[in-house]
Structures are given as structure tokens and as C-alpha cells.
Amino acid sequence: MKAFASGKDFDREMNKIKKIMDEKGFILESDHILAYSMQYDEVKDDVIEWLYDHGYNGDLRVEGAYHEGAVYGLYDSTRITLEDMREELKKEAERQR
């Protein structure tokens, strides 16, 4: 772990993220606050490492966009295309206005 100390609190939050990823294949800032922090390599690395260590299978990638403000998300490219993720980020930016 680079950005977080492992522990019950981190595991609880990561279990929420894993559930969302299992359900829809991507996570946005409105799904979980850590999605915004995916812009930081240390956070991204910790989250992805935890997901893989806890049984997530897929090709995890981070995408960000700027639509009158920056938005970030994590997605599984085996379940959602880059184009679809960019559309989800655009919708997220509109929700945040």
C-alpha cells in the first residue's frame, strides 16, 4: 500500500467499491468519494491492487475528463468501452454542476 494503511476502514470502503465494480463495471465520483482520487497514482495503485487481491478479474483503467470541472472514474475495459466511460464521465460532470 502506498497511499493507505491497510485496515478495517479501508477494507470496508474497498468492499463497497468492489460491489459497484462487480455490478456495473465502473465507478464514478457519485458512487464513491475515492473515485475522484483515482487521479493520484498512489491511490489508483492501492485501489487496483486491493481489487485484484480480493478476486476482481478484469482490465482496470482510470479515465478522467474535464467538462467545466475535472471528473474521474475507474472502469473495467472488458465490460465498458473507453467511449462509454467518457460518456459516463460527461454525465457525471453534468450531475455535479
Question: What confidence tens digit (pLDDT) does each residue in 10-66 have?
Answer: 899 999 999 999 999 999 999 998 999 999 999 999 999 999 999 999 999 999 999
Q: What pLDDT score does 5 carry?
A: 63
Confidence of residue 67 (pLDDT cuts 50, 70, 90): confident
Q: In Å, how far are 9, 11, 28, 54, 67 from 86, measured between CA atoms?
A: 30, 28, 11, 27, 11
Topology (CATH) of 8-96: Arc Repressor Mutant, subunit A (1.10.10)
d(CA 15, CA 20): 9
DSSP secondary structure string for all residues of 45-73 = HHHHHHHHHTT--S-EEEEEEESSSEEEE
pTM (2 d.p.): 0.90
Q: What pLDDT score does 54 carry?
A: 96
Phi, psi of 14, deg, nearest 5: -70, -35
| Average pLDDT score over residue span 66-82 | 94
